[in-house]
Structure 1
């Protein structure tokens, strides 16, 4: 996957959010950590959609994880609207990515260069860069 030089990369799972930047080449990314924002996951609106009995019995309803995904999307929306993000690639576990999509602002969507549905928060920077390059 092409990741332009200086593009931001959001690495997300149900508990962590790390904002990185590609300081390498588009097809040979080199990632640098910019920040790991502390979020206040307060949007539990996903709970309405995940109230089914089957999801609760099988443990698929993790409201805290979904609220975290919503909080990340809201944070990214704010940065996109302020003009602090030009190009953004989002790499998130499938559940978080699905929830985040429900909260994307049009300005964030305009700046989105791609999404990868993978859990990579515990991987090294080099491994994440390889995953992006091979996507």
Structure 2
């Protein structure tokens, strides 16, 4: 059984939305409280990071931009010491877009990554997945 310390932030994301939780339970029995529902904003003004392959369609560009917005938020919060531990739960594509943009302070706080889509999953399924090996 995986340990998820009390107070850990859990980001559950895909390319279209994200849910940010905090573990209000114990280290071995997560009880997640939703802190925020995050939707993409100002996608045309922001744009994805890095070079953009010409074959990307509009939806892929929007998803990459949203991943960048999520990383910017996590990086800023890490640098302000708003959380000590972080779990990233995202579909493999979103997780792959986020990884190279993570600040070293954010990376240092990651205790677990789950490359699976849980954005529309019931809370019980998310909590159960946190403790699986």
TM-score bracket for the superposition, by shorter chain length: 0.7 to 0.9
Gap runs ≥5 in structure 2 = none
Instruction: Show the counterpart of 2:95.
Output: 97
Match of 2:54 among 51, 54, 58: 51
TM superposition shift of 1:46? 4.8
Return the alpha-carbon distance in structure 2 between the equivalents of residues 18 and 36 of structure 1.
5
Matching residue of 1:4: 5
Match of 1:63 in 2: 61
- Alignment RMSD (CA, Å): 1.8
Cα distance between partner residues in 1 of 2:64 and 2:77: 20
Paired residues, number: 128
CA distance in 2, matches of 1:95, 1:109: 18
> Higher mean Cα deviation, 76-85 or 28-37?
28-37
Question: What CA distance in whole angstroms lies between the structure 2 residues aligned with 1:79 and 1:39?
Answer: 18
CA–CA separation in structure 1 for the residues paired with 2:15 and 2:132:
24
Scaled by the length of structure 2, the TM-score of the pair is: 0.86
When normalised by structure 1's length, the TM-score is: 0.85
Contact kept? 2:10, 2:23, Cα under 8 Å = yes
The equivalent of 2:111 in structure 1 is 113
- The answer on whether the counterparts of 1:43 and 1:71 sit within 8 Å (CA) in structure 2 is no
Cα distance, 1:103 vs. partner?
0.7
